[in-house]
A and B are shown apart, each in its own frame.
Chain A
Amino acid sequence: MATLVPSLTLSSSDLNGDILNLSVADSLAVLGQVSAFQKVATTTGVVFAAAANFSKSYVYLKNLSTTAAEIITIEKANAGDEYFSLGAGEFAFFPWASVVDLALDAAQGSPVLEVRIFQASAAS
């Protein structure tokens, strides 16, 4: 069985008067498709992962741009519900319910989104 091990550390020495040093890890079964690609965002929302093509999956996203204004919004569809706002160099990792599509939309320019999708079960 294929297993994905994600780990996240959140640290800061100047928050709340207390040191933040959180570490979490998990061990996730990945029995289905694995998709890894880069997508160029435009100022019109375009679906890059259709819910109909996946079952529950673990998704990693990163805005590869180094230009501050090239923010990528992750949304359900063009002009649909908006969920994430990835600034230059910012990333996200989340278990995707796969009930809504994932679309990307650039605030300006043509930033590139790195995408990795690990499907939990074998069947879509």
Chain B
Amino acid sequence: MATLTPTLTLASTTVFADQPLNMTVSLNSAVQAPMTDINKMSTGDNLGLGAGIIISENDTNNYFVYLKHTGLLSTDGVSNCNATADFVLVGNPDADGGSKIIKLQPGEFAYFPTAEGAADDAVTAGEVGGLKLFAGSANVMVEYAYWKRS
């Protein structure tokens, strides 16, 4: 077992007229395998679970997940993508188009603990668990990592 320490700060001097925003949260979280280091993939890559799928919907674990849109096209890994059209949607790995909860534009990141999947999950609405990337237009490079919650 290991310890992951995520620390998030939200700051702004312009969101509110008369009060700055400056908040920081942190928590030591016990984690264990399966886990990854920081990885990079195309939204179209197949890691063995299907194109764009990072965590199977049948996986019954909870994971702490980090995602970042690098802003780079997967065709060569160095060219900038279209700042508007080449977003990345993130959702459950099912056919339900309404399941996509996250929209990453270039440079944006996310951190969250996933809900666990179900071993007998069917490809229907009302699904739980799993994580899949959907390209808005062209495939782009995404950084990701996950750690199983102990």
Contact = CB atoms under 8 A, between A and B. Distances in A.
Given A81-B96, A90-B27, A91-B25, A18 B126 contact: no
A82 B129 contact: yes
B147 A15 contact: yes
Given A10-B4, A56-B103, A94 B111 contact: yes
A9 B111 CA distance: 10
Contact of B115 (A16, A60, A73, A93): A73
Given A26-B107, A85-B116, A97-B100, A118 B15 contact: yes
A2 B99 contact: no
Interface string B98-114: 11111111011111111
Given A82-B115, A85-B114, A30 B15 contact: yes
Interface in B16-63: 16, 21, 25, 27, 29, 31, 35, 37-38, 62
B27 A96 contact: no
Contact residue range for chain A?
Answer: 35 or more
A60 B10 contact: yes
Contacts of B37: 15-16, 18, 20
A99 B100 contact: yes
A34 B15 contact: yes
Interface in A3-25: 3-16, 18, 20, 22, 24
A99 B6 CA distance: 27
B11 interface: yes
Contacts of B92: 81, 83
B8 A6 contact: yes
27 contacts: A1-B14, A3-B14, A3-B15, A5-B10, A6-B11, A7-B8, A8-B6, A8-B66, A10-B145, A12-B5, A15-B2, A24-B109, A26-B109, A30-B12, A56-B103, A80-B126, A83-B101, A85-B113, A90-B29, A92-B110, A93-B111, A94-B112, A95-B102, A97-B100, A97-B103, A100-B100, A116-B10
Given A8-B9, A82-B128, A91-B8, 16 more contacts: A4-B21, A5-B9, A5-B12, A8-B6, A8-B109, A9-B7, A10-B5, A15-B2, A15-B35, A16-B35, A24-B109, A34-B15, A81-B91, A91-B25, A94-B111, A96-B102
Interface of B: 2-12, 14-16, 21, 25, 27, 29, 31, 35, 37-38, 62, 66, 68, 89, 91-92, 94, 96, 98-105, 107-116, 125-129, 145, 147, 149
